[in-house]
Amino acid sequence: MTRGLGVSTWSTSVFPDKQSGCYVLPIKAAVRKKNDVVPGDVVEVTVEVVQALQSMSA
């Protein structure tokens, strides 16, 4: 998955959060600093799936 925030793009994964039922989208410290993002900020990000997961059969 490729993500974009401001002038930055990077590749990583999203992670399910069982407690909230949502997905967590981590933003690297270097990206937060480059885009002046601090905890509590609301930001708009772009997300692009670059490879679909293949289902695994037992």
> Residue 55 domain-assigned?
no
40: domain range?
2-48
Looking at the predicted structure, is the pLDDT value of residue 56 above 60?
A: no
pLDDT band at 3 (very low <50, low <70, confident <90, very high): low
**What percent of the chain clears pLDDT 90, i.e. is strictly above it?**
14
What residues have CB less than 8 Å from 2, skipping those under 6 apart?
9, 10, 11, 47, 48, 50
Q: What is the pLDDT of residues 31-48, one digit of tens each?
A: 888 888 898 898 888 887
Q: Is the whole-model pTM more than 0.75?
A: no
User: Exposure of 8 by Cβ count < 10 A (0-12 exposed, 13-18 middle, 19+ buried)?
Assistant: middle
Domain count for the chain, please give it.
1
> Residue 54 domain-assigned?
no
> Residue 57 domain-assigned?
no
